[in-house]
Amino acid sequence: MGASKHVRIDGRLRGSGAGAAPIAPPTIPITATIPEFRRISGISRSRIYELLEAGEIQSVHIAVRRLVIIQSYLDLIERQRSKVQK
């Protein structure tokens, strides 16, 4: 018999032996709608629109949906961290 590998996730052991589903790393979405972005970031709707207007974060329009580009939010966080470290 082959050895079964186990990975600890959330305090529990998850097996990767025969029949076990593979464990995928968490994924980060590329874009998010305004309501999704509010939930992800914890930023208010009005502040999100202020950041968009100021060019601090970016979005795209696809049909009638406005999608915030998550990488632009990550870049904003890095810029803010750089200001604090200086």
Give me the chain's average pLDDT, please. 83
Asked whether residue 3 is domain-assigned, the answer is no
The better pLDDT of the pair 57, 18 is held by 57
Using a cut of 0.75, tell me whether the model's pTM lies above it: no
What is the layout of strands, in order, in the sheet containing 59-62?
31-33, 65-69, 59-62
Asked whether residue 79 is domain-assigned, the answer is yes
Asked whether residue 74 is domain-assigned, the answer is yes
In tens, the pLDDT along 46-56 reads: 999 999 999 99
Lowest-confidence pick of 10-19, 48-57, 69-78: 10-19
Identify the domain containing residue 37 by its residue range. 25-85
Task: Tell me the CB-side half-sphere exposure of residue 79, using CA atoms within 13 A.
Answer: 8
CATH number for the domain including 56? 1.10.238
Confidence of residue 10 (pLDDT cuts 50, 70, 90): low
Asked whether residue 35 is domain-assigned, the answer is yes
Number of structural domains (the chain) is 1
Question: What is the C-alpha separation between 73 and 79, in angstroms, rounded?
Answer: 10
